[in-house]
Structure 1
Amino acid sequence: MPRVVSVFFPTLATDRIRRADPSIPVETPLVVVARSGSKRWLSAVDGNAAKLGLHVGMAAAKAQALVQSVHMVDADPAADLAALERLTLWTLSQYSPVVAADPPDGIVMDTEGADHLQGGEELMLSGLVNRFRARGLPARAVVADTWGAAYGLARSITAEAKVIPAGKTADAVARLPLSTLRLNAETISSLRMLGFKTVGELAAMPRAPLTLRFGPETARRVDQMFGRVAEPIDPIRCPEIIEVHRDFAEPIGAAETIAKYLSRLVTKLCRELQAKGLGVRRTDLIVHRVDNTIQALRAGTAKPVRDVGWLTKLLHDRIEKIDPGFGIEKLSLAATVVEPLDDRQIASNLIDDATVDVGAFIDVLGNRGTYRIYRMAPVASDVPERSVQRISPVAAEVGQTWPSVWPRPVRLMDRPELIEVMALLPDHPPVWFTWRGKRRRVKRADGPERIFGEWWQRTSEWAAVRDYFTVEDEIGERYWIYRSGDGVDADTGSYRWYIHGVFA
């Protein structure tokens, strides 16, 4: 069963303008003005403007009279569409092989066969909206069984992300307003005059009267939302993507036949990559079935490759995920993410090579769904929680090292946890401390190691100080704890104690 994600950008037009013109103050209400002849109205408003009572459709003159400080910008639909296409192409490279723009303010993608690479649907949606928000683009995302259901729910929820379980679409959309059906305003107004308020009420009506009164579009949109009529997604493709195809005069369906033609497509794709000096990092197999539906599989690699045998193996391992239905009429293989790759001589077996290449092992784990494969690397920072980062397991060395004068715990907590202590100020270690409800008496301690805040990066840390101690309790367990502040000047910290790590 397909799983469709709809991403909705409620303030795409104003967000695009702010990104293009950082000089606009963050607190200033911003609106976009559209015009037709002498008529001018608001086609988009940001959050600040909405809080002041401005809304889409309001006359521009009235909005300016109500809020004199409002910043007005003329509408540019072409720029909005270009921004949406750029976001769609980025989503294609990161999340799913089947992604399309859903103008004017959305993206739609089929994540069947690809969500496991992100750790499942919930983590995929949360990561998606978080990455958009980090770029100044608030978004809402919903995954459901159909495009219509995901579209309607994304524009109705207040939460950033929501997962509709498979098979629960009908219950989820029954109470949605008619405006989520992607019908024109005139049809929606006529349906409301007849007493219809929700999608569920309209879905309960016989199709013949609806078609006779409003044409086939109304019934089609209802059936698409409930999954009674297929709604294929036409995936976006940029000219730079290297893609090869194979059309079949007679539909195929056997796994052996799919594997045979897939091997030929991989060979052809690698020739294209060889000619351009590229290696592939992410490969998408698009399966076009005779019932006008699309199925997609994605395989990734830890580093750029164009080895025919290895790419073929990665894709063959996932053939069992393909449901041919009534037959497959076309196969497409695309190199979605590529990187430069020079020709290298293969090492001779007569020469001992001490370097072990774990790239193949990482590829197998990653394509099976073990998506969080990484290694830790040091960062040049005095603050312990900022001195480590996750990098690709095959990335080059970053050239940084951790301090060797003072030992560091093998387990560093993401966030230090508050503890209760008894200690003599300013420089003595605790006599005992209570962590997670258990009191531990300190038998040995080493410290303090003073760490100052990074005042050159954060003004809030201008005078911040931490004093770290390595302590050992009565049963031999060792902990890394610190006091916020130097114990003398209250401006340096709160004097509270925290546990930050555990030694082996």
Structure 2
Amino acid sequence: MFDGTRRRIVSLWFPRFASDRALRARPLEGPFVLTLRQGGAERVYCLNEAALGCGLARGMPFADARAFCPDLASRPADPLADQRFAVLLRRWATRWCPWVGPETPDGLVLDITGSAHLWGGEAALIATLRARLERAGLAVRIGLGATRGAAWARAHYGEGAALEGLPVAALRLEPETVTGLQRMGLRRIGQLAESPRAPLARRFGPGLLARLDQALGRQPEQICPEAEPPHYAVRLSLPEPIGLVDDVMAGLGRLLGRLCDKLQAHQAGARVLCLTLRRVDGDAREVELRLARPLRDPARIAPLFQRAVEGVDAGFGIEQMRLEAVQVEPLPPEQLGAERRHDPGRLEDLITRIGTRIGLENVLRFLPADSHIPERSFTLAPAAFSTPEGGWAPARPRPLWLFAPEPVDATGPRPPRRFRWRRMALTTGRATGPERIAPEWWLPDDAWRGGLRDYWQVETEEGRRLWMFYTPQAPGWFVQGEFA
């Protein structure tokens, strides 16, 4: 007798988890697969029952699958979306029992010991579970046993079957171990349990016997439910309705203190905050604050809410306030030096203030780019979502002002002695160069398709310091920048 009566474990296996999730979002009829690039080729990642009926299988090349099934529909797989859905499914399963853990990569394990009677018994609980999941569009196989291993084995190899009659692969063994046992004639768990243990341990190691003992209940195997992620939200119910901006800001200060304490306990900082003001008439007003960097300092966050709070219509009064950190990022403690002369957070606060008016994505900063082409030596990126990097390090000095090339009436490969630029007559005093810059042939750029450029630093007697270049393939001179 393999099963005891002390613990009762339920194993849920979703054989088509990824494809079922995708079809829940966008249903369609007929054969369907999710594809994922593996080993340099597109392969079948998951498939529905209709595709299985066409002879398709996981891991086969997608080109072969299309050849087998011309009517096959496909979408790219999204493993991150699958992970998020698995978290939601695990939280949903806690309604049946408090101990729910993940069974990677496509299952759940529930310890229903002591809770099955709340649902009318084990049979009623399993029937309700199956009906709810199938109604949600998820194919599921359910195993029940006295141990986690026994439940997993029945979910994957035979619901309700006797454990001793299941194949040895039901013990969650490596494929190499399963193949070795089959070559020895040990194909069923019952045969393995009756075999001498010492030879098995010498040949396959202690892992085989550990899995066997876990399934039989001789060795404990814990179910570790994942801890719920911290919820960064605080609420304040007011004894009397308020409507003045100062009163709202005072309540916000109390909420920020509690919220920031929670953020500090988890070494996190808020990136997006949402303040909900519920009025006495049942309506609510929301104020969202997007920060340029993660923060958990109430003294710095509160003033950033001021302008938005002033524009809120309080109606007949506000009776409840709720503050939530909608987006949170890690913010470990920083070491502050004794000689710190400025606060780097002042720039982020300024970016936040400007961003509340024009949008954080519209506040840009220049970043160096790895290119010797002058026009491509920098990029523009939102300041709130990028970090300042090291300065440019070109081989030669670069001008302070850079503009589109402007032609100069001059000839010859050497800088002209006299020339006119922007209606000014200029005389060359000193010229340094040339610096030859070749086009980046792998990138399309109409301005550089002409070929080489020889750049010169030209100091004029009139005080102008210009950055000029000569094009040898199509003789001509141009001014592209000016030094300070």
- TM, length-normalised to structure 1: 0.44
- Structure with higher Rg: it is 2
